[in-house]
Amino acid sequence: MIALRRESPNAALVVIDLQNDFCPGGALAVAGGHEIIPLINRLIGSFEHVVLTQDWHPAGHSSFASSHNGQAPFSSIQMSYGSQTLWPDHCIQGTAGAAFHPGLDLPHAELILRKGFAREIDSYSAFFENDRRTPTGLAAYLRERGFRRLFLAGLATDYCVAYSALDAIGAGFDVAVLEDACRAIDLDGSLAWAMREMRHAGVVIGSTENVR
């Protein structure tokens, strides 16, 4: 288990998809998504190094239910890379829904990594698209900067946060997910699955209160 210490120069905070469409009133709202903003802002203020991720879909993205005749949001279909949950249209490039929540304090974020912009493939993880083979380049950026310890927070626990945490572990980083600074969708048991998989992989499940 890694210590939840942020002082090390090789530590970075990664804030996942804190965008309007994932907050109440948005197209794919995560229950209580707005509640984590004060916690995230305190974290951003206490970390020297901050990375943000941003869902950034083109209109008509293949993960949208509206792109498939007769399919409803939250159903699943088989894509070339495996099973894909179909979502309401969300985080479309350049729209207000894709923008970061206005309450998010962003003064010294060093990188905004946009994902999900390839029309034919979704991207939950900040490290790989959903084919599990196409990298986003984030791992190389973090290594080049000398980061080895990552603290993750944001939306949603059981999708983009969990997939990012698992891929970060697979890439050799030490990873802590700050559970109180995340919120989940919990679709058909997805939260229980995500927590089990993260713990099994060696992700530390911590709290913002434990970060020193």
Q: Which residues are known catalytic residues?
A: 17, 115, 160
Could you tell me the two tokens for 49?
């190094």
Q: Please state, in angstroms and rounded to a whole number, the distance separating the CA atoms of residues 72 and 98.
A: 22
> Does the bond joining 156 to the residue before it have cis omega, within 30 degrees of 0?
yes
DSSP state of 95: S
Query: Which residues make Cβ contacts (< 8 Å) with residue 137, sequence separation at least 6?
Result: 113
Instruction: State whether the Cα torsion 87-206-37-136 is positive or negative.
Output: negative
43, 52 contact by CB (below 8 A)? no
